[in-house]
Structure 1
Amino acid sequence: MAEQNTENAPRRLEVTLTPEVWRRERGHAFYPAAKALHAIPSLYGTDGTPGEHKTVHAHYFAAWGDWYIVEFDHASGKAFGWARLGADDSQGEWGYIDLPALESFRSARGLPNFVERDLSFTPAPAHEVLPAGRRRMRCRDEACTTCRPAD
């Protein structure tokens, strides 16, 4: 029997996320399908890429915030992306996001307030999908049409 060469075969990352706490009440899966999750770079996979050039792969929202995902750790569910709490877009920033904690959150006051995944979101460059009023992380290329300051 011939020996298989697995050295150059693409690695299939296992997704071992915690069970969803509010899936039935939310009415849809919190996490994207496995194929979409595998398309998201792993944590630190976009280091060195200016914020405006990163690809946003998923958007989550609640009445009190928005989270845009650009990197994802398949083992822990932790992510990296841009987030805003409250209504002031200028206060949003890039950082790490605990997706299992967001999935399990439910407001104790008033109507149920789950964090939901934007089911109609299509991956796109950050400069196209992040809120217009945010602080921008521009690249250093003076000729970059994406990061060029507005006239």
Structure 2
Amino acid sequence: MDHIVRIVEGRVLLPAGPWGVLPDVHRENRGHDFYPPFTELAGIPRLGSTADVPAPAKTLHIHYAIPDQSYDWYVAELDPTTGRAFGWLRAGGPYGEWGEFILGELETFVLPADPRDPRGRPAPPEPPAVPMLRLIQRDTGFRPTPAALCLPASTI
């Protein structure tokens, strides 16, 4: 069966499955879908189902990040009825931890604009015509990978 994802009024409509409708309010600014295709979401283990798997052997299915920042979220398990995920996360520092997060909250999150230009100098006095949003991006090239192969060894 072909699963086609459509975007209507800023929301992702899935053809089947318990989620039904997923927010994708920053799709235009992000330049890609926040959520992977439904067939990929459906293949992620249910929340709590890999509790007996050692952390280095857990498969990470999706990677989200804020470009040029030390923010990462890797999804290992997912509750398809709520969007709650379990995985590895790092919030602005060199270390990460295993925990839960909600995909819908990540999708709508906007990091405040950085007042410096890319070289670290103060921004010009007048703001740019269109402020640059710093959004959480899905790593569209990421493929399911064991945690031991993609996370810092000291944090697994």
TM-score band, normalised by shorter chain: 0.7 to 0.9
Counterpart check, 1:135 vs 2:135: no
Which of the residues 43, 50, 57 maps onto 1:53? 57
CA distance in 1, matches of 2:80, 2:21: 7
What secondary structure is seen at the aligned counterpart in 1 of 2:76? strand
1:116 and 2:122 matched: no
Check conservation: 1:15, 1:34, Cα contact below 8 A: no
Q: In the alignment, what sits opposite 2:92?
A: 86
CA deviation profile, 1:100-140 (whole Å, cap 9, x unmatched):
111001123233110000000010111011134x333xxxx
Q: How many matched pairs? A: 122
Q: Which deviates the most, 12-21 or 66-75? A: 12-21
Q: Among all aligned residue pairs of Structure 1 and Structure 2, give the percentage whose two residues are the same amino acid.
A: 40
SS of alignment partner, residue 73 of structure 2:
strand
Q: Distance in 1 between matches of 2:28 and 2:113?
A: 20
* 8 Å Cα contact 2:23/2:107 also seen in 1: no
Coordinate RMSD, CA, aligned: 1.6
Are residues 87 and 76 of structure 1, via their aligned partners in 2, closer, same or farther at CA, if it must alter by over 3 Å?
same
Q: Deviations over 1:26-68 (max 9, x none)?
A: 0111011001001100100101111011100010001240011
Q: Is 1:71 aligned with 2:91?
A: no
Structure 1 segments (4+ residues) deviating >6 Å: none
Structure 2 counterpart of 1:125 = 146
Instruction: State whether structure 2 residue 30 is matched by structure 1 residue 26.
Output: yes
Q: Which has the larger radius of gyration?
A: 1
Higher strand share: 2
SS of the residue corresponding to residue 34 of structure 2 reads coil
The code of the aligned residue for 2:79 comes to: D
Q: TM-score, normalised by structure 1?
A: 0.75
**Structure 1: gaps spanning 5 or more residues:** 1-11, 137-151
2:125 is aligned to none
Asked if the contact 1:16/1:76 (under 8 Å) is kept, the reply is no
Partner Cα separation in structure 2 for residue 131 and residue 26 of structure 1: 27
Structure 2 CA distance for partners of 1:73 and 1:17, relative to 1, 3 Å: farther
Please report how far the alpha carbon of residue 13 of structure 1 lies from its aligned counterpart in structure 2 after TM superposition: 4.2
Aligned AA for 2:143?
Answer: T
Q: TM-score, normalised by structure 2?
A: 0.72
Secondary structure at 1:18's aligned position in 2?
A: strand
What CA distance in whole angstroms lies between the structure 1 residues aligned with 2:152 and 2:107? 22
Whole-angstrom distance in 2 between the partners of 1:113 and 1:14: 30
**Structure 1 CA distance for aligned equivalents of residues 48 and 103 of structure 2:** 16
What secondary structure, in the 3-state scheme, does the structure 1 residue paired with 2:29 have?
helix
